[in-house]
Amino acid sequence: AQKITQTQPGMFVQEKEAVTLDCTYDTSDPSYGLFWYKQPSSGEMIFLIYQGSYDQQNATEGRYSLNFQKARKSANLVISASQLGDSAMYFCAMREGTDTGRRALTFGSGTRLQVQP
Amino acid sequence: DAGVIQSPRHEVTEMGQEVTLRCKPISGHDYLFWYRQTMMRGLELLIYFNNNVPIDDSGMPEDRFSAKMPNASFSTLKIQPSEPRDSAVYFCASSRRRAGIYNEQFFGPGTRLTVL
């Protein structure tokens, strides 16, 4: 079974509008963390935002926010006021067993976002 | 501070040749990760180290792959002999253990490997 599922291979959004990128996850571990990374066409991986399984509030970082619905096992990324520079691949990732010290990330297949002027 | 440094950035080699990828983590980071990215399999963990000791190598595809971390500032990923199916982008990432739950991983620019 897929641990991280990103069902949107590609998304389009108009500049200055908000966009939501979907991510669902599967784990039986009560302690886990969810990450979003951005990969522009240049190829580097850029960390955007983190949400811990015990966090009471949704994470926010500037124009990025995470819509965390624990019961539904979803951690959707919301980008507000899209900019042309937001065009990139976006990956959702999970780290399980944060209590046990496991450090590796499992990545989803990614969503390619294109921001149109 | 310099980020994670990887070399070479691009490598083209012929099937059967030995390939060595290099990584310098961010100073002070005690975790180092090697990931591989392909169109078919996406991003997958190969191996990771903590304080230079391999912790999880379950993602290493087969005996042709080996990774070492002789000191805190250097790691290598070696493929011998290389095969066309090893063509991918290989990322090195590092993170630092600190109080709290999360430790984001900082990725290097990647090495694009092409095996002909």
Residue B51 in this model has a pLDDT that exceeds 70: yes
> Which three-class secondary structure state does DSSP give residue A72?
coil
pLDDT at residue A98, as a whole number = 59
> B101 or B56: which carries more pLDDT confidence?
B56
Residue B97 in this model has a pLDDT that exceeds 90: no
Quick count: other Cβ atoms within 10 Å of Cβ A116?
Answer: 11
Please give the DSSP secondary-structure letter assigned to residue B80.
S
CB contact set of A40 (below 8 Å; sequence gap of 6+): A46, A87, A88, A89
Structure confidence by residue, pLDDT tens digits, B55-89 = 989 899 888 999 999 999 999 999 999 999 999 99
The answer to whether the Cβ–Cβ distance between A44 and B110 falls below 8 Å is: yes
User: Which of chain B's residues have a Cβ under 8 Å away from the Cβ of A46?
Assistant: 107
Cα-based torsion angle of the residue sequence A80, A81, A83, A87 in order, rounded to the nearest 10 degrees:
30
Q: Which of A35, A104, A108 comes nearest B56 by C-beta? A: A104
The answer to whether the Cβ–Cβ distance between A103 and B48 falls below 8 Å is: yes
pLDDT at residue A96, as a whole number = 84
- Answer yes or no: are the C-beta atoms of A14 and A116 closer than 8 Å: yes
Structure confidence by residue, pLDDT tens digits, A80-90 = 999 999 999 99
pLDDT at residue B86, as a whole number = 96
Please give the DSSP secondary-structure letter assigned to residue B52.
T
Q: pLDDT class for A100, splitting at 50, 70, 90? A: low
> A102 or A93: which carries more pLDDT confidence?
A93
Distance CA B110, CA A17 (A): 32
